[in-house]
Amino acid sequence: MADPSRIAIVDYRMGNLRSVQKAVEHVGGEAYIISTPDEIASADKLILPGVGAFGDAMRFLNELKLSDPIRAFVGSGRPMLGVCLGMQLLFDGSEEDAPGDAPENAGDGLVPGLGILPGRVVRFNEDRGGQRLKVPQMGWNALHWERPDPLMEGLDQGSAVYFVHSYYAQPADESVVSTRADYGGDFCASVHKDNLFAMQFHPEKSQRVGMKILTNFVGLSR
């Protein structure tokens, strides 16, 4: 029988694993680190974290043979959460030109992602919205709800969370967007589709609001 409090965190050499693990444990979950296809297949819930370059992340996922198991996990209906780079990897591809990925960029100019959600990941324009932006965006920003999301239950409109990113997702299907934030214009801050959840911000660094989001994820049942 699945244990909703057991959370597997994927180690693919790009994640802020320990901070995510400690945050999940702080809200009453049982978090453990995994790194093999079999461990993904047998997990009750999954978190895909990530910090760094998109191309490197996909290279490691493919080398470790984790890409297909992650896709299969989402298809199984079990809850999965992507965080920061882990959110971006869910999409078709990214404009981020990581070293060594030039051959894969041919055609649409994207480094291929997991392709679980249609859409692309694009870079903030420093002159976006008629103002000079600092890129990456680093710091607190307010969330604005687009539609209900089980992970956001109990939070107020305008709740602040912590971002560190130069790129953001542009979903092809706007119906998956659950929250937006403003940085020289609106951008997608989180998505929700069925059992799949993802957020560009770091819940583990977002204090009370982040802990509430993780509490909601721990409490999800399939």
- Pairing verdict, β 46-48 and 6-10: parallel
User: Which distant-in-sequence residues (6+ apart) come within 8 Å of 39 by Cβ?
Assistant: 8
Q: Residue 16 corresponds to which tokens in the numbers above?
A: 């802020």
Identified catalytic residue from 146, 165, 188, 204: 204
Residue of 25, 26, 84, 96 marked catalytic: 84
Is there a catalytic annotation at residue 144?
no
Work out the burial of residue 29: count CB atoms within 10 Å of its CB; fewer than 13 is exposed, 13-18 middle, 19 or more buried.
Answer: buried
Is 126 considered catalytic here? Answer: no
Alpha-carbon torsion, ordered 169, 171, 172, 175, to 10 deg:
-160
Backbone angles phi, psi at 173, to 5 degrees: -105, 105
Residues near 73 by beta carbon (within 8 Å), at least 6 away in sequence: 40, 41, 43, 46, 80
State the amino acid at position 143 in one-letter form. L
3-class secondary-structure state, position 151: helix
The catalytic residue positions are: 84, 202, 204
